[in-house]
Chains A and B, each alone.
Chain A
């Protein structure tokens, strides 16, 4: 996740960037990028490079749904000549570029890769998708990537990095797939200078410095799990209404539900985003619920992001610090503050 230190790459104008994007669209590559419509900025499939919005700040939702859709069929079934026949969903037919992905969201995609990578449907889609990240020239009020292991110019989960400077963009490939993607445009591009990269580095450091939040130390994963029985969870979650918006806006949440749509003879099996904040999530058929209250559910969310996942993935937090959950929470719960509260001495009195 450290910023790349070699200074290869290019310096291009917005016009050159648009031209490259236009050439990708012309080559039948699906370009998915931030588009602003009626005040809402979200990732959409571009019809033209003019729609591309690379302004400061992040999209309302991460681009996760283009790899892990909100709802999708995992197979369909129908009855033919009295026999049930099962069919896989059609594969993704386009090569795809997701462009303008903030480093936090790209890091979130690295998490979804780690979890959903073994799934055939996800893997097929992922194999045809290249990620072009866009570093952050400003920190938004909710941002805290720098305190959870990320950086405003981080490269985790990215194939190509775009750095917006005052009068130009720097472009560099980070992977062979990224190299291949920019090959078409880069023949005509001007090489970036050491001075350009020094400006990029300074921008990253300034944004990280401006960002809220104190460090979540890497060795907190074990300490947090050891606080499983802490009374702090009850105090922290008391205002949680269980709406699960934190999950739906999260770039790294991957939990899903599976349900059938249709009849016994014809239909499809669908998986949909689900949330550990819902009581039904873990409810047994018998009525027993291992997580019977909002406190145990909130604890699961925090520990999954900051303890269980990091312990299984070399210490990398599953929370990427985008801050959307805190921004959208109707009662102002903030996962970053919650981690610090549980780790602090006062936490034992919070309940």
Chain B
């Protein structure tokens, strides 16, 4: 969120030749491939159905994905623009739209609107250590900035990836983790909630904030990038405060319900800011200044 960013309501009425195009109408995209990350999280790789090149996007931006007949759902663009062969999304099948999206096969068509929203200021983290803390489906929102950082590896210091889920089966991007962990200066720590472990589990057992505290990472020149359920963030922020992390160096995303992505439909606001336009990326310092409406 930029402090001086105009809110969506400040856009003026265009008329005559400057008439806006119908931003509610999606572009058609073809599913190139699809695979399951967990029992209920699926990743789609997408291309424009008409073969035209993908629009540019930045890590942290999101889209509205259509399963025609079911409707639209909102999730982040899960890959970095440094790996822009396809546009990827990962989502949890939890409602009408996402169940339909999960059942679509490669070659079939979905709708896409976006990219929308602000983005992670990855450029601003240059020269710093970065720790990514992803809880459950929250890991999906971190994959694009993580890929960006890994693809510009020399610009960044030590990288720690802390990924947690309720159960081993619910950990996202299991197939990619070993590759990330093999890169120099990258440490991957995985944890599951107590009771979520299974035979052969070699990761941690414990809630993410506790595991994070145990890592004993020095605050120094470290940026924290995190996404997870509200209850996880609540306790993580308590841990971060205890460890003395400056709120301006902690970055997260808000995932409020949205219907338009354009600052019009009125449901994602936190105070006078619309998450879809002024977010979804906020620093902890910015969240502290907002009404507790998220």
Contact = CB atoms under 8 A, between A and B. Distances in A.
Which of B12, B262, B265, B292 counts the most A-chain CB atoms under 10 A from its CB? B265
B265 A256 contact: yes
Given A254-B266, A286-B229, A288-B230, A312 B9 contact: yes
Interface in A307-345: 307-309, 311-313
B264 A282 contact: no
Nearest to A229: B292
A342 to B, nearest CB: 14
A312 B22 contact: no
Given A123-B15, A283-B257, A256 B266 contact: yes
Contact residues on B (Cβ < 8 Å of other chain), bracket: 35 or more
Interface residues of A, number: 58
Nearest to A283: B257
A341 B35 CA distance: 55
A281 B268 CA distance: 9
A290 B292 CA distance: 8
Contacts of B100: 264
Contacts of A259: 71
Interface in B246-294: 255-257, 259-260, 262, 264-272, 291-294
B143 to A, nearest CB: 19
B71 A258 contact: yes
Contacts of B262: 118-119
B70 A260 contact: yes
Interface stretch (B23-31, B126-134, B144-152, B177-185): B23-31
Nearest to B272: A308
Q: Per DSSP, are chain A's interface residues mostly helix, strand or loop, or mixed?
A: mixed
A271 B23 CA distance: 13
B88 interface: no
Contacts of B8: 115, 118
B98 interface: yes
B22 A267 contact: no
Given A259-B71, A300-B293, A115 B260 contact: no
A161 to B, nearest CB: 21
Contact of A84 (B10, B109, B266, B294): B109
A242 to B, nearest CB: 15
Contacts of A263: 68-69
A309 B9 contact: yes
A159 interface: no
B265 A255 contact: yes
Interface of A: 74-75, 77, 83-84, 86, 88, 113-121, 123-124, 126-127, 225, 228-229, 254-260, 262-265, 267, 269, 271, 274, 276, 281-286, 288, 290-291, 296, 300, 303-304, 307-309, 311-313
22 contacts: A74-B22, A84-B109, A114-B10, A116-B264, A117-B11, A117-B12, A118-B11, A120-B20, A120-B22, A121-B22, A121-B24, A123-B20, A126-B13, A126-B15, A228-B271, A255-B265, A258-B71, A265-B69, A276-B266, A291-B293, A300-B293, A304-B269
Q: Give the top 8 A-B pairs by smallest Cβ distance, nearest first.
A: A117-B13, A255-B266, A308-B272, A74-B24, A264-B69, A75-B25, A118-B11, A120-B22
